[in-house]
Structure formats: structure tokens, C-alpha cells
Structure 1
Amino acid sequence: MGKTLVEKIWDAHVVKRQEGFPDILYIDTHLIHEVTSPQAFDGLRKRDLPVLRPNQTVATADHNVPTVDQHLPIKEELSRYQVDMLSKNTKEFGVELYGLGHPYQGIVHVIGPELGITLPGKTMVCGDSHTSTHGAFGAIAFGIGTSQVEQVFATQCLLQQKPKTMKIEVNGTLGAGVSAKDIILYIIAKISAAGGTGYFIEYAGSAIRALSMEARMTICNMSIEMGARGGLIAPDDITFDYIKGREFAPKDAKWDEALAYWKTLYTDEDAQFDSVLEFAAEDIEPMLTYGTNPGMGMGVTEHIPATEAQPESERPSYKKALAYMGFEDNQPLLGRDIDYVFIGSCTNSRIEDLREVADFVKGKRKADHVEVWIVPGSKQVEAQAKEEGIDKVLESAGFILREPGCSACLGMNEDKIPAGKYCISTSNRNFEGRQGPNARTLLASPLTAAAAAITGKITDVREFLNKEAELELA
């Protein structure tokens, strides 16, 4: 019997397998940041151990960094301490650090791909749940806890149970205004925030194959939001073209050797998945969430589902979520006023996202009552945006291009949404307090977020696109 892509990569990295025990899995690349690494470094000190393979470890500062005036000392004491500790720890243990001021600094899941560190067939881990982003390249990538960070530091291996496999196929052609973010929010809404629990997911189908690498990263990034261990997409020419020529990608003869291997990374025709789901791209419209987990999502023209339609055991938490958000059963959200727009995070902060937003807002102006934060995923994205004049387009629309970091994806730095305010966010989580105490988050695509910024309310971006198309035809 053939193997799935997950099985091929996993089995190639098993150092030791014994019945009744987890596999000892070799880790090719370990990504770290300032939040989940300090205790792991302390653990090494206590046991007088080095980082076994520092050349396979890459560090950056992202979660706690400010996105304005990064050349100045960090104001928040805890944030400043964590960033300073990362500098101290990486220097002591000989780990490469892309800290504040470095041209490669940025969100850990943005810099890995853009630097050519993320490659097909790798195993990659990070003390961050959205490590699944790197699976877009045909890699096994997943988040780990702090004790496991220490384990990888010390051994370059992890004890891991082999996951079950799921295939999610999306076939057909996406409609205007519908993007990768809408695909993944749609899938999560259909199968719930727990629908992928215990699985490693392979995304397939014609709609997935048509996506750019940056769009594929958005899909894989949010695999964790349906409870999955991770997600991946088999590499193809789109993947190889993206990687070629990047800073740390293989060169010359090593490129040819790597490419030959990467072309073997696909699921065999006779391979068996533990579960298979299929969706039609034509059924997906611009999406947004209305509750406090990513599974509480709906099409922008739909109404909030009724509490009575939920399983009885889930009704109390469902009512609590709607109360937190200030929403009601059967309520439409189209046309509702919003206060903030955040475009950024490891889900949607790449140059393709910023180009899409700039193209949409060119010649338009944001609503006066809305505050808009545009946060690039890395210094390289920031530099490219400025080189292309995207910063000027955004500025003309009343937006400001800030400096790289996780920003308002999570309330761990200075960029917090005030209590009670509504934020259309391109990030990945809408938990209570995720963007700040009592902040109210609605997840959406960059296009939907940009449309809300212009109108000041929840808007079906297709209305704009249809009007623009009509003008072009006139």
C-alpha cells in the first residue's frame, strides 16, 4: 500500500520506533522566539547542557516587540525583559538571532519561508501553535510546548505519537473577492474548531493547487484552529519557483539534488487517509467570525445561527460567546459599525496581502471613526512595500504602515484593541481578550478588512468589486 505525504516525511525522520511508545522524531529546523524559549534555555543551564545543533536553530523577536519606534527602548517592562533575555540566551548558546534592527527580523512564520529556511520534506517545530504555516511547502511543521523546546535544544529530537491523516479537498474556482482566508474560515465553520483534532491534514484539490505560496501559507497557518496537529500541501512548481534564489535555499548542484527529492513528495494514489472531506470552491463567499472561536464563522451575507440550532451541551458556551460579542441569534452583521481594522499577523502580513489591500484602497479614504493598523510580517516585507510605493498608497487612504511584529494578533505587546471595541482582524484567533481585555474580534480576509476600513462597517467586498467591474465595462 502507498503512503500519504505525511507518512513519507514522518517515516523518513524516525530515529527509533518501538511498539507501544512514541516515535523518536528527528527535527530538521527549530524556530524560536522570545516567549517560549527562556525557560527552555534555563533548563539547559541547570543541566549544564549546550544547544546540540545551534546551526539548525533560528531565533527572532516578534510577539513582544512594538510596531512603532522600534529603534527606541521597549516601553512595556515584561516585553522589554523577554526581548532582552532572547538576546542574552542566543548569544550565550550560539544561536543565530534576527533581533530588532536586523534586516531579517520579523514574525517567525514569515521569515522562515521568505529566507528559504522552510523547505519541502523538512520537519520543523517552534514553541508557537501556528508553526503549521510552514506545511504549505510540503513540510511537517507543528507547535510544541516549552519543555519540548528544551528537548529539541538538547537532542534535536522529540518524542511524538504518529498522527492520523486527513485529506481536505477543495475543488472548483473561487468567486471574486474570495481568498485563501475565506477558504480556511469556511472549512473551520463547517467542521468546527475541534473537527481536525488528532489529525495531520493534507489540503488538495484544484482550488488549492491554484493558490500562490502565500495563500497556501494562510490555509496551513489556521489548521491548528480546527484542532489539527498541523496541515500541509504537496510541493509543486509554484513551491519550487517561490523557493529558488532565496537567501538560505540550496544553490547550484545542491538545488538540483534537493529538487529531485522534493518531486517525490506527494501522496501515492493508493494511499489511505483516516478521513477525507470535500468542499466546493463555488460555495464559499467572503467569511467573517461572529463568536469567540474560529469555528463560529459565517458568510458575510448570512445571519448568526440560532442558539437552539446548536447541540444542547454547547448552548451555554454559545450564548456566552454571543453575549461577549454583543450579538444576538439570527442577527445579520452586514452594515454593522466597526471601530478598528488590523491587517497583519503570521496569517496575513506578507507582501501579497499588502499589495491586495493597496490595490483595493487606492483612490479611497478610510472612514473617519475607524483606526487602521497595517503591520508587515517582516523587515523584508516592510522594505518591499516601501520600494513598491505601497506605504504611500496606504498613507493616502489614511492607513499607516507600521513596523514588523505580531502586533494586535494577541494582547502581548503595546498594540491592544480597547475594551468593547469591534476589530475586523486578519489574524487567526478571536478568543475572549485575545486582542486586549474585552476586545471584540471578527476574523476576516485582508480584502474584507480593507472594505470595512473604507466604509466603517461590515461590508461585502463584492459590492465594491462589482461596481468597479461595471465602471470598467461602461
Structure 2
Amino acid sequence: MAENIVENKVSLPTGEGRGGATLFDKIWDAHVVSSKEGFPDILYIDTHFIHEVTSPQAFDGLRKRGLPVFRPKQTVATADHNVPTWDQHLPIKEELSRYQVDMLTRNCAEFGIELYGLGHPYQGIVHVIGPELGITRPGCTYVCGDSHTSTHGAFGAIAFGIGTSQVEQVMATQCLLQSRPKRMKIEVNGKLQKGVGAKDIILYIISQISAAGGTGYFVEYAGDTIRSLSMEGRMTICNMSIEMGARGGLIAPDETTINYVKGREFAPKGEEWDKAVAYWQTLYSDEDAVFDSVLSFKAEDIEPMVTYGTNPGMGIGVTQHVPNTVDVDPTEQTSYAKALNYMGLHDNDTLLGKAIDYVFIGSCTNSRIEDLRQVAQFLKGKKKAEGVEVWIVPGSKQVQEQAIREGLDQVFAAAGIPLREPGCSACLGMNEDKIPAGKYCVSTSNRNFEGRQGPNSRTILASPLTAAAAAVTGRIVDVRELLPEEELVG
């Protein structure tokens, strides 16, 4: 892959003389090619991620118009949604999945795009491979035909999902027509409880502001709790920005960010690295920056979270009870009752002790090496509960190989859980890993919509630690009660 895959093609600000600017505005303004009042901005895109699901129609559009991909070296392709997580060396069994993956292979070959397909050492979930390869960097713009592109914002970048027609637009021009969203700051301060981590933070925030609370905004996450998170934790936070209706989310880069990027495969080297770091250190919101909305939360108020309904905003602390329908906004009571009925739950139910059937640990939210290490640490010396199917799916070949080098696969195997091969897996019902109708799955993924993990399946979103606790007990438990006295952050 070319070294300049995420090279900026625009002049960048120095960070000086821009009083009152948010981090978002600094990056956005640096990438505006043209701006006219009353029209969307023409925004330059540094890197375009593509996969097999949302790219075929875009490639067809280029063919019909006789256009090439304008900057193929700034396009990163991988197969993730439709791939099986067993026997990836064999032909894909599902006909539609096989067709889509094969089509991506043909399209990339025709248009000169390097593909990290099955069998490639860099293959994996698109939002996992970008960061781990050093493709994702501060101060850049990233898009993909996938809503969880907001993951990359953890690096202090503008990253968001786009539709198929926009995928074609970026392929043809490396630019995108885009209206500037409003800016929101969400601060989280304080010390997290034992067993509480990034996934719990974001589920808590969404439960407080609702699945539509961020609509129209791009969110900057700040506060000492956010700064204390690892890059992998920050990616989990930004990943689920879309689940509150936001356009995306980002976190200002710091030494944690710089240390993570340094030395990765496609990270800048030598003098280019020094220049890049000097620029990255200018990327922060000015002290007098003006946001359209500012929200603050206390870390101490957050406990291990679980969802009980059919959108990520329907979440509660694991010791809390399902809200009563009469306490819900009257305009939402019908849909609320429908969601509870779908989930087989009732007003004032507790989820503590509820029997579950499946556990899925994976997805672009929680499939990185840190997640797997955490789960392995918890599972060591334990066995999965009888009658519970547990899927542990690494986010990439690199994560899979690292887990094997560290012996995590052996810990999982001793617990009765094989480590699968990388892919989106049971996050969504587009491959062989589907949850059967009526079954409950505790999932580390990002969406609990009706049928998301398979027709009539029932999804309970949770952190890797809470999912691991469900795997060994066969029910939903407060993981804090199963942890040793020393702190173990989820």
C-alpha cells in the first residue's frame, strides 16, 4: 500500500490565531475546498474506506459514467460484513455473501484499489484495521459507507458514515458535498467504579440523552475520565456516537494518541513523523471555543450497563429496573411497549439473573486485542456455562495473531470457547453467524434493533466484562461481584 494513503492534499492550519475554534472546526476548515453561503461545503476526504456491502453500486455508477477512481491510493478496501468466521480458506457457503465478497475482489482489481481480502494479513473489520495499521491519524477526514466510521474520530479526526451515492461521489472526486453540523461537547469527569469501562460510559450517555439526543451534532468527548482511557477505549466511545443520532464523535489527540500511532505500518516515518506530531499537537478546542450544546456526566454515577429494548438508548445500570411505560414520553409509549414485548420483558423487570442463550464478543466496537485480553483475564480458570453458545471473534487477522501469540486462544479454549476468525460476525445478520429467533444474546456490538443479529433474535448490549460474566454464569450478573478486589476496568 502506498505511503501517502492518508496524505493531506490541503493546506493545514497552524493552530495559532484561531481563538474560539473547536477541534472539529479546525479540521473541517482545513479540508474545505469550496464554500458558498446557502450551499453545502465541498469537503476534501483524506481516506475512503470501502467494504463489500455498500461499494458495488458505487463501482457500477463509475462504470456507467466511464470514470476511474480519482485517487485509488487513498482508498482502503477490506472484506468484513459477509465473511464467515470459520474456514476462511474455503469458499463462502452463503451465496449472497460469496457474491458480494467476489464482487469486491473484481471491482478492486478493475479500478486499481488494493484489497485486504480473505487470506490477507491485514484483513479485518474496516474500523479495526485503519487504526491498527496507522492509516487512521489525527487531523484527517475519513468516510466509509458504514455508519460506525465515527470510530476513527478517537484519533482527533473527522470521520463519519456515508450513503452509497456518496461513496460514488468520493470515488470520483475524493470530495464530498457536506453541510457543517452543529457542535456538541460531552464531558465525563471522575473515577470509574471497578468493572466499569468505555462501553459502559457510552451506553450510559446514550441512555441519558436518548438514541436521538445527538441528532444534528458532531460530538467532542472531553473530561479527565475520557483522557484516562486507552485508544481502544476511546474508539469504543466514538464508535457509538451514531447510536445517539450524532453525525460522528471525536477526541482531541494527546500523548496516548501519538504513542499508539507511532511505529505502525503506515504511520509517518522520520522527518515526516516529526512534522506530523508537531501538527497533531495543535489539534484541540480553544479554551474559549463555542459549542452549540455542552453536557456533563460524573463517572461515579456509571455502573455496568445493559440494554433492555430495541435501540441503544434503552439502557439501564445492571442493578436497575426496566422503566414503567407510564413514565415514558406519551408519544413514545406505543413503540416502547412494542419493544418490551419483542424482548419478552415487562415494566419494572430486573435483568439481574435473567438466563441468556448466546454471548457474542466482537464487532467494530469491542473486538480489539485489549478487549480480548480483558475477557481472557476474566475467563482464566473458569468454564463457560452449559447450554450457552459463546462466540469470540477478533476484529482483524492482526488481532487474531496477537491473541494467539499471547496464548489468549488457549485461555478461551480451556473455558470451552474457541477463538474464531475475524469479521463482523454476529453484529448483524449478514453472514453465517446469526442468533436464532427468540434467543437472548448478550453482545458487545453496537446495535440491538429488532432482528439485527438474526430474525426475531433478542440482543442485550453490554461491555466485554459483562458479556464474559454472562458466558460463565449463563445469566446476566453484576460483574463487579465476580471481580477481585483490585481494580479491573472494563
Q: TM-score range by the shorter chain?
A: over 0.9
Separation of aligned partners in 2, 1:206 and 1:19: 38
Q: CA deviation at 1:276?
A: 0.0
Structure 1 SS opposite 2:485: helix
Letter in 2 for 1:402: R
Match of 2:420 among 402, 408, 424: 402
Separation of aligned partners in 1, 2:90 and 2:37: 55
Letter in 2 for 1:125: V
Q: CA deviation at 1:133?
A: 0.0
The one-character-per-residue Cα deviations of 1:255-294 (angstroms, maximum 9, x if unpaired) are 0000000000000001100000000000000000000000
Aligned to 1:223: 241
Structure 2 SS opposite 1:113: helix
Q: CA RMSD in A?
A: 0.6
The one-character-per-residue Cα deviations of 1:149-180 (angstroms, maximum 9, x if unpaired) are 00000000000000100000000010100010
Structure 2 SS opposite 1:400: coil
Q: 5 Å matches for 1:94-173?
A: 94-173=112-191
Aligned to 1:15: 33
Separation of aligned partners in 1, 2:353 and 2:42: 53
Separation of aligned partners in 1, 2:99 and 2:246: 33
Separation of aligned partners in 1, 2:244 and 2:390: 28
The answer to whether structure 1 residue 454 and structure 2 residue 472 are counterparts is yes
Separation of aligned partners in 2, 1:202 and 1:37: 29
Match of 1:423 among 435, 441, 448: 441
Separation of aligned partners in 1, 2:195 and 2:477: 12
Match of 2:325 among 287, 293, 307: 307
Aligned to 1:278: 296
Match of 1:80 among 98, 121, 125: 98
Structure 1 SS opposite 2:482: helix
Q: CA deviation at 1:469?
A: 2.4
Separation of aligned partners in 2, 1:191 and 1:116: 33
Separation of aligned partners in 1, 2:270 and 2:163: 37
Aligned to 1:236: 254
Q: CA deviation at 1:97?
A: 0.3
Q: 5 Å matches for 1:37-48?
A: 37-48=55-66
Q: CA deviation at 1:365?
A: 0.5
Q: CA deviation at 1:107?
A: 0.1
Separation of aligned partners in 2, 1:327 and 1:398: 30
Q: What is the TM-score when the length of structure 2 is the normalising length? A: 0.95
Separation of aligned partners in 2, 1:469 and 1:55: 50
Match of 1:443 among 433, 449, 461: 461
Q: CA deviation at 1:301?
A: 0.3
Gaps of 5+ in 2: 1-18
Q: CA deviation at 1:6?
A: 0.3
Identity within the alignment, %: 79
The answer to whether structure 1 residue 210 and structure 2 residue 228 are counterparts is yes
Letter in 1 for 2:339: A
Separation of aligned partners in 2, 1:464 and 1:413: 34
Separation of aligned partners in 1, 2:324 and 2:146: 34
Q: CA deviation at 1:44?
A: 0.2
Aligned to 1:198: 216
Separation of aligned partners in 2, 1:426 and 1:220: 15
The answer to whether structure 1 residue 66 and structure 2 residue 84 are counterparts is yes
Aligned to 2:485: 469
Aligned to 1:179: 197
Letter in 2 for 1:178: V
Match of 2:394 among 376, 401, 411: 376
Letter in 1 for 2:77: A
Q: What is the TM-score when the length of structure 1 is the normalising length? A: 0.98
Separation of aligned partners in 2, 1:64 and 1:115: 22
Aligned to 1:50: 68
Q: CA deviation at 1:12?
A: 0.4
The answer to whether structure 1 residue 260 and structure 2 residue 260 are counterparts is no
The answer to whether structure 1 residue 296 and structure 2 residue 318 are counterparts is no
Q: How many residues align?
A: 468
Gaps of 5+ in 1: none
Separation of aligned partners in 2, 1:135 and 1:424: 26
Runs of 4+, deviation exceeding 2 Å: none
Separation of aligned partners in 2, 1:96 and 1:26: 21
Structure 2 SS opposite 1:15: strand
Structure 2 SS opposite 1:401: coil
The answer to whether structure 1 residue 414 and structure 2 residue 435 are counterparts is no
Aligned to 1:32: 50
Separation of aligned partners in 2, 1:449 and 1:364: 14
